[in-house]
């Protein structure tokens, strides 16, 4: 469906827009049958991500006094070769090709401004996500030159009984995260665990630690729900969880989970998951979910299946190459 794009007023977002953007996200979530619990605080927290600038990295579309569109381009990770776009449209304009094309023209123009930040000779891409049952979003991405690159599975476990107690291999202990003490070592463990995974990008350590600390903020973050497997004082695995999943206060979320390469296939990953699940069950949560790469090279899907998790939803990553060159990202 086409429309007159001069019907809409587009401009960078402002702080006063945060409540309207949260409402737009909630309307979109309701349409997809998802929890609609976003607040202006959620919007402003995303805007405060180190390296993100609201005045240059966002666009909003207004139809009179009603917000009908919000777009963002995130270029916060050095060496600036992966640029992530997000677009939320109100249901009434979801099929408005003119408005959609206007947003994608802005994405392209904003992305061109980022190209000089990437290393010379490096491949640079735009990345976007879409639910696999959202045919309209997939069609829009393909029409604008994107191609399907990866499929992710959302897994869930319902707590119909108390999870089994974890069985830890000899020499491995578990404890909870200590903010300020474990920050750097946790990021180092993450880097080791994920460097052979799709999408991993080597970044300056200081900048990566800063981004992790950005997400270590209450009320969502609770260090008592971040579990570390250790041996000889070294972190060999981690399971960072939250007491709610995307607004569902009855379901926990495994947000970051990994085992360092030298310690894989010893049962540490399964034990970490069961430790976290036991803590969630003790809090009265009714289930837990997580998202995993469907082509995960370390056979994480087998670990998740062993603790009773099953697929309930799938989401896709689409990519568009902006500049060919050496690929610095794991694939």
User: How far apart are alpha carbons 109 and 73 in whole angstroms?
Assistant: 11
User: Quick check: is 143 in a domain?
Assistant: no
User: How far apart are alpha carbons 189 and 208 in whole angstroms?
Assistant: 12
Domain containing 51 — which CATH number? 3.40.630.30
Q: Are residues 75 and 223 in the same domain?
A: no
pLDDT single digits (tens) 15-54: 999 999 999 999 988 887 777 788 999 899 999 999 999 9
pLDDT single digits (tens) 113-127: 999 999 999 999 999
pLDDT single digits (tens) 275-307: 999 999 999 999 999 999 987 655 778 899 999
Q: Are residues 165 and 271 in the same domain?
A: yes
Checking phi first, is residue 229 left (phi over 0); if not, alpha (psi -120 to 50) or beta?
Answer: beta
Q: Are residues 114 and 174 in the same domain?
A: no
Q: Are residues 173 and 268 in the same domain?
A: yes
Tell me the pLDDT of the chain averaged across its residues. 93
Q: Are residues 166 and 251 in the same domain?
A: yes
Q: Are residues 197 and 110 in the same domain?
A: no
Q: Are residues 190 and 61 in the same domain?
A: no
Q: Are residues 88 and 162 in the same domain?
A: no
Indicate the residue among 118, 143, 168 that finishes a domain: 118
Indicate the residue among 90, 118, 146 that finishes a domain: 118
Q: Provide the number of structural domains found in the chain.
A: 2
User: How far apart are alpha carbons 28 and 46 in whole angstroms?
Assistant: 18
Q: What is the mean pLDDT of residues 89-114?
A: 96
Q: Are residues 165 and 254 in the same domain?
A: yes
For residue 223, the enclosing domain spans: 155-314
pLDDT single digits (tens) 216-247: 987 789 999 999 999 999 999 999 999 999 87
pTM recorded for the entire structure: 0.91
């Amino acid at each position: 469906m086409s429309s007159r794009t001069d019907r809409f007023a587009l401009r960078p977002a402002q702080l006063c827009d945060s409540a309207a953007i949260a409402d737009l996200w909630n309307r979109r979530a309701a349409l997809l049958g998802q929890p609609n619990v976003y607040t202006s605080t959620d919007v402003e927290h995303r805007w405060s991500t180190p390296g993100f600038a609201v005045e240059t990295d966002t666009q909003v579309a207004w139809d009179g006094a009603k917000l009908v569109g919000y777009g963002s381009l995130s270029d916060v990770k050095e060496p600036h070769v992966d640029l992530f776009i997000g677009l939320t449209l109100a249901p009434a304009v979801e099929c408005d090709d003119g408005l959609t094309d206007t947003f994608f023209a802005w994405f392209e123009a904003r992305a061109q401004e980022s190209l000089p930040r990437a290393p010379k000779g490096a491949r640079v891409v735009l990345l976007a996500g879409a639910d696999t049952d959202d045919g309209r979003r997939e069609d829009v991405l393909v029409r604008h030159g994107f191609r399907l690159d990866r499929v992710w599975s959302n897994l869930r476990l319902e707590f119909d009984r108390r999870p089994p107690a974890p069985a830890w291999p000899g020499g491995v202990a578990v404890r909870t995260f200590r903010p300020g003490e474990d920050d750097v070592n946790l990021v180092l463990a993450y880097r080791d665990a994920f460097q052979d995974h799709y999408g991993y990008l080597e970044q300056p350590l200081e900048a990566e630690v800063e981004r992790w600390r950005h997400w270590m903020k209450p009320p969502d973050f609770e260090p008592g729900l971040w579990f570390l497997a250790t041996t000889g004082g070294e972190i060999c695995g981690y399971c960072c969880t939250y007491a709610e999943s995307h607004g569902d206060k009855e379901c926990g979320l495994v947000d970051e989970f990994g085992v360092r390469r030298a310690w894989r296939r010893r049962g540490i990953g399964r034990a970490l998951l069961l430790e976290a699940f036991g803590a969630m069950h003790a809090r009265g949560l009714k289930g837990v979910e997580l998202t995993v790469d469907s082509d995960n090279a370390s056979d994480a899907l087998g670990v998740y299946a062993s603790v009773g998790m099953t697929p309930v939803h799938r989401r896709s990553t689409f990519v568009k190459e902006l500049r060919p060159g050496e690929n610095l990202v794991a694939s």
